[in-house]
Chain A
Amino acid sequence: MIHLTIDNQEIEVEEGTTILEAAQEKGIFIPTLCYHEALEPYAACRLCAVELEGKRGSRLVASCAYPCEEGAVIHTDSEMVRRSRRITVELLMASSEHLPLVKALAAQLGVAEPRFRLPPDDCILCGLCVRACRDIVGIAAISLLNRGMEKRIGPPFEIASNACIECGTCVLICPTGALKLEDITKEEKAIHRWGSPFDRRPCHICGDHDLEPHLSLGPHSILGEQTSGEE
């Protein structure tokens, strides 16, 4: 058993328990977004950050993934924590201010107006759908595409997924209702446009030949040149 202090409460937990689990047992509320009981901790949203006192000063750790340590002193609602969460929520608000979920968080933490603006987007990139598909269903039909500002959710290469079994677990688990099944299975997406940046080859591993499009060259790309050459 491990002993620690969360918000001045002495707590005794099993080894391997995370800070979030320990807090939940005591009824201490820590907000979360990307956390799900049926999935491994992901520590992506940083909303569950808590303050962990240490010899060289305090630091923030993601409580969903950080295991309880003997003698640890943790604050879940200190100024440091609130400040971190306010910034996290402010960043979320940049593109998703319209979502009830984000609105509620903003109201809770007292963030009125974000300093940043991005085009509105329902998806907050918590990755729950991706992880549920992979770890609960066992399929991995969707993934996180691209990086940084371009990051979004979709089937690999944004081509209608052949692997998707349409069980709807991703849609169910999505906290914001951003995902629809047709985003994954919609047929039109199977067609690559001319000039697509991908080098199209069938996959060595899965043989998904959807990657190999049938491209039609319009007559003008061939004959247009020819006629202009003759003139």
Chain B
Amino acid sequence: MKDNLKIGLFICDCGGEIASYLDTEALVMAAEQLPQVALSQRMPYLCSRRDLMKLQEAIRGAGLNHIVVAGCTPRTHEALLRSACREAGLNGHLLEMVNIREGCAWVHSADGERAMAKALDLLKAGVARASLSEPYEGVKVQITPSALVIGGGVAGMTAALALAKRGIAVKLVEKEHHLGGLLRNLHALYPKEQRASELLKCQIEELREEPNVEILLGAQVSEVTGPVGNYRVVVTSGGAERAFQVGAIIVATGAQVQKPFGLFRYGTSKVITQLELESLLAKGDLQAEQVVMILCAGSSDENTYPSALCSLTALKQALLIKRTHPKVRLTLLFRDLYLKGDNPEADIRKAKELGVEFIQYGPEAEPRVTAEGVEVYDLLTKQKANLPYDLLILATPLIPQEDVTVLANRLKIPLDSHGFFPDVRLRLRPHGYIERAIYVCGAAHYPSDLRETTFQALSAAARAFNFLKQKQIISEGAMAAVDAALCTGCGSCVEICPFQAINLRPKDGLLSISVVEPTLCKGCGLCLPACPVKAISLQGDSDPQLTAQIQAILSSEESKDRPLILGLFCEWSAYAVAELAGARHLQYPPNLRIISLRCAGRIDPYHILWAFLNGADGVLIGGCLPGKCHYVRGNQQAEGRVAKLNDALAARGFEIERVRLQWFQPDNPSAFVEEISNFVAQIEALGPRVTQDRRSQDGAAEKRSLGAR
């Protein structure tokens, strides 16, 4: 315990909402007895202007250096109280909130006496936690006000231009020796049949004249390191390396057209892809009388990205061919027509008026191509048709570039199952972490047409600009740090971190140690239990705090509340729904003492054992439903660890029914109450874990042995 600790405890009546269920005066008196508490005070309406001012006066006047507020939910009121503390000159992280409203008063309104005992336990836990809290300023990042755009296709060029026009210095990296990407191969654009080459020419010219843009052709990004907001990028071109710093990265690497080798006689002279037809059309070199188009060619498997692109292209090309060569007999074979845009039906009607034949085939019978013709089973007429052709056009899907995985690894961003870069939206509070500032647009994102690509590029540029213009960002969230003296460099944490925030760095030439990149850390604490030597600590939510909290919350001396159950709840699901049950005034047994955690994956088996050593009769761990973890795989981690612990406990003859891991839906309070009642009943049936006497004797011995750890 720190020497100069002066904890101020404020208990809110909440205008009667708490005071009518709990005797707040008695709580204040009881709290005064706690050794660390310098001031214990009752507040009628803490969130009112007057009481907030009283709180600030108390901080300044009594020289309080830690504040514990017992009242309502931190989810709605923490920001308000934090800013009040800050105004009074106290670091916001020295405020601890104890929810005795939704967490106690409202859920145990029928059992005043036990509710009081529980409220006192909650207060003790809050004080124990607060006494170990440290001031913490958060992570501050100065942003380099420049951007890197990877890919010089239409997406990259549009994004680069948009950023440059807003005054951002942009480096545009293109691996080919010319700009333009896929658009270079296109002839006319849908729906206005504008020439792609003209559009491209304008855009390239504009880009070259833009002083804020530096174009690096024949270049590739070979390395991206450094913190968010100040990425150090190394670009190689022609054997030479160049390094520079950027604040944001836009990925616009595009996609490629799949070449259906081995299918539909592709490779023979009469069979081409849509893209190859484009260059034929551009040259004005179409010499055919019977043209057949096959849509969704070779994309019968579920793995290809469903895209509206081939259908649109086919429709565009059909219209174009029919207009320029009205005598051509054109048949369009499709499985599904995915169309979008302003009025695609009008174009279909137009195509039919021009004489384009549409035939639908089923997924089980793909058209068969021979040297003489295309055999197809018409779904509508239920007849086989044999179509002679002298030009067969295959609409093949856009697939990701070959080297996407390399780039994805360099940028530490995920790929979806198709190999495209998905939109990663973290489900975390925006003030608690720093955004990666890596944005994806165009066909690298998913097969998209020109209009969509342009929109995406503009939006990526807008988002990048919004990030860059901040100049400085501060994240207030908790953050992991590795103690270099303890770390053995085993790499367990590197593997477990869902955000690739931990890296191994060489130390003394031989050893390596883990280093946390603060701008990438989201403070989930998944790495803490993974570390075999406990070298990682979490600033703002430390392990000693958690153990002290567990000990204090179970310190109830009343035997009335046996069995005593500890809930270690993820704040996103189990804790959220517990509060919701409170807000709805549902009732559950008061035996349960809840501690809120960032994530269930934060729980170390040691915490569970610690709870039993301190007198818990059961431990309930609450996490998000599978696939719903806000930190990607925290719930899986928790599941694995609890299973392992249970195996170990079972081997020693411990009743493993006392530990339960439960997934909770964050918005279903009645299910929550049912689960809690079930678990309490289960523990009640098992009875107290040990008798009171044995508990104190054994507990002391066990604690001693644990203390040696």
A residues adjacent to B (C-beta < 8 A): 14, 16-17, 21, 24-25, 36-38, 132, 136-139, 162-169, 171-173, 177, 180-182, 199-209, 212-217, 219, 221-223, 225-227
Contact = CB atoms under 8 A, between A and B. Distances in A.
B184 interface: no
A199 B348 CA distance: 19
A172 B576 contact: yes
B641 interface: no
Interface string B440-473: 0100011010001001101110110000000000
B455 A25 contact: no
A113 B284 CA distance: 78
A131 to B, nearest CB: 11
B358 A209 contact: no
Contacts of B520: none
B344 interface: yes
Contacts of A38: 47, 76-77, 79-80
B430 interface: yes
28 contacts: A17-B49, A21-B50, A24-B48, A25-B48, A37-B48, A136-B76, A165-B428, A166-B427, A166-B630, A167-B75, A168-B576, A180-B667, A202-B455, A203-B459, A204-B458, A206-B462, A206-B463, A207-B456, A207-B459, A209-B423, A209-B446, A213-B340, A214-B308, A215-B340, A216-B337, A216-B338, A222-B352, A225-B349
B579 A138 contact: no
A216 B425 contact: no
Interface string B652-685: 0000000000000011000000000000000000
Contacts of B342: 199
B339 interface: yes
A183 to B, nearest CB: 9
B655 to A, nearest CB: 33
B455 A177 contact: no
A137 B628 CA distance: 19
Contacts of A205: 459, 462
Given A38-B79, A207-B459, A223-B380, A177 B584 contact: yes
Closest CB pairs A-B (n = 8): A207-B459, A37-B47, A165-B427, A202-B455, A168-B576, A181-B667, A168-B666, A138-B430
Interface in B602-655: 628, 630
A11 to B, nearest CB: 11
Given A207-B459, A222-B348, A163 B79 contact: no
A139 B430 contact: yes
B667 A221 contact: no
A217 B339 contact: yes
A222 B346 CA distance: 11
B37 to A, nearest CB: 25
B45 interface: yes
A198 B458 CA distance: 21
B576 to A, nearest CB: 4
A227 B380 contact: yes
A36 B48 CA distance: 10
Contacts of B307: 214
Contacts of A16: 49
Interface centre among A16, A136, A177, A217 (most CB of B within 10 A): A217
Interface residues of B, number: 62
B459 A221 contact: no
B48 A163 contact: no
A219 B360 contact: yes
B306 A214 contact: yes
A16 B73 CA distance: 26
B286 interface: no
Interface of A is mostly: loop
A228 B237 CA distance: 61
Contacts of A163: 425
B630 to A, nearest CB: 7
B57 interface: no
B379 A168 contact: no
Contacts of B431: 138
Contacts, number: 150
Contact of A207 (B460, B577, B583): B460
Given A132-B76, A217-B337, 8 more contacts: A24-B48, A137-B430, A165-B429, A166-B630, A173-B76, A208-B459, A214-B308, A214-B338
Contacts of B47: 37-38
A25 B360 contact: no
A185 to B, nearest CB: 9
A181 B580 CA distance: 12
A229 B211 CA distance: 59
B322 to A, nearest CB: 16
B572 interface: yes
B185 to A, nearest CB: 24
Contact of B429 (A21, A167, A199): A167
Contacts of A36: 76
Interface centre among A25, A38, A162, A201 (most CB of B within 10 A): A38
B455 A221 contact: no
Nearest to A177: B584
A173 B308 CA distance: 41
Contact of B463 (A24, A165, A207, A226): A207
B336 interface: yes
Contact of B79 (A136, A171, A207, A222): A136
A178 B95 CA distance: 32
B241 interface: no
Given A167-B572, A217-B345, A37 B455 contact: no
B669 to A, nearest CB: 9
Interface centre among B76, B77, B342, B462 (most CB of A within 10 A): B76
Contact of B339 (A137, A215, A225, A227): A215
B49 A14 contact: yes
Contacts of B308: 214-215
Contacts of B577: 168
Nearest to B45: A24
Given A138-B430, A214-B308, A209 B79 contact: no
A162 B423 contact: yes
Contacts of B429: 137-138, 165, 167
